Amino acid sequence: MSRPQPEESSVRLRLVSNDLEFLAELRPDAPHSVAAFLALLPWETQLVHVRWSGEGVWIPLGEKDFALPWENTTRYPSPGDVLFYPGGYSETEILLAYGACSFASKLGPIAGNHFMSFVEGLEQLPELGRRCLWQGAQPLIITTHPTTGASR
């Protein structure tokens, strides 16, 4: 896998779910995860409430293999932290913590690559989690933020 370009970590992302809007920054200490995620953009998907991890929502990616190494891993994301799980014990997925979260699968604890953190809209995260839990899957549109100058 080629080394991602350094400017990728300076890109800000805009995430919108219905009337909730967030801004996030990418983490330079997870360059391969950042590059794989940017390749998905612009992306329209759905968030589903987690089953084993606590206060979090996730995007299941099935058996898709992004050939990601382990980088900047954690089991305990803070609210607003986003993890990219490259697969293995569980299916490939992206997890967003909106509250107390301990990343796990049906087989037990797992860790993911912390590649993105929300920097604006954090106060709306509990509402996003509540909607996913009580109303079911919620739409999510992810694009680069217009002020980054990125062409996506």
Answer yes or no: is 119 within a domain.
yes
Predicted local distance difference test score (pLDDT) of residue 5: 46
CATH code for position 121 = 2.40.100.20
Domain that includes residue 47, residue range = 30-140
Q: Which whole-number Å values give the CA distances from 152 to 8, 23, 52, 88, in the listed order?
A: 12, 15, 34, 30
Answer yes or no: is 77 within a domain.
yes
Predicted local distance difference test score (pLDDT) of residue 122: 97
Predicted local distance difference test score (pLDDT) of residue 137: 98
Answer yes or no: is 17 within a domain.
no
Contact (Cβ atoms closer than 8 angstroms) between residue 38 and residue 23: no
pLDDT along the chain (152 residues), means of 10: 49 96 97 97 97 96 94 98 94 97 94 98 98 98 77 41
Answer yes or no: is 86 within a domain.
yes
